[in-house]
Amino acid sequence: MKKLKSMFIGAAAFLLAPFALANATTYDIDVPGMHASINFKVNHLGFSWLTGRFDKFEGYYIHDPKNPANEKVEVTIDTRSVNSNHAERDRHLRSDDFLNVRRYPEAKFVSTNITNQADGSKLIKGNFTLNGVTQPLEIIAHKIGEGTDPWGGYRSGFEGKTEFKMKDFNFKKDLGPGSATVYLELHIEGIKR
């Protein structure tokens, strides 16, 4: 009887799986620079902000407005594409003092859990790998909108914010306590597969 019950539960789960994912939609992240950007800023000696971006990255996300348990985010960043609008500084950022791009040319974020918050935002928890180190990272994201585009496709867009300490990812250069945190601003538009 137990075996029969287990078989029934397994068959039901298999048959109902497509319905559980019926509202889940997969989006490929749009071309960086056009409608998607990963920007960063770091306080510079308490005087101003050093700002920049990564010009090359790719990824996808699964959005399900009814069940965040079905949702997922995965993004890979080409760290060699760091751009702070200053060539000499960018060479330094690529060195082993910071991003160490010769040894670790990619950074990656993979979500592990996504929940809807009372204020309408999403809390995206995941693992972020940078400079050969993987640490947990949390992103607060807000949906901007979704709908049909002028070319007959379907798109959705989100913005998000997160931050991390340089020391947590083994950056060698210590810029002092005021400059220890990197703030990331994410603007992501996705095209439905």
Give the confidence band of 3 by pLDDT, cuts at 50, 70, 90.
low
Give the pLDDT of residue 22: 62
User: What is the tens place of the pLDDT at every residue in 56-81?
Assistant: 999 999 999 999 999 999 999 999 99
Select from 187, 138, 158, 140 the least CA-distant residue to 25. 158
pLDDT averaged over the chain?
91
User: Which stretches within 35-151 are classed as H helix?
Assistant: 87-94
Contacts of 168 (CB under 8 A, 6+ apart): 133, 135
Give the pLDDT of residue 166: 97
User: What is the tens place of the pLDDT at every residue in 76-104?
Assistant: 999 999 999 999 999 999 999 999 999 99
**What does pTM read for this prediction?**
0.87
Alpha-carbon 190 to chain mean position: 12
CB 73 within 8 A of CB 59: yes
Distance CA 106, CA 103 (A): 9
Does the pLDDT value for residue 16 go beyond 70?
A: no
Domains of the chain are: 25-192 (2.40.128.110)
Give the pLDDT of residue 124: 98
User: What is the tens place of the pLDDT at every residue in 93-140?
Assistant: 999 999 999 999 999 999 999 999 999 999 999 999 999 999 999 999
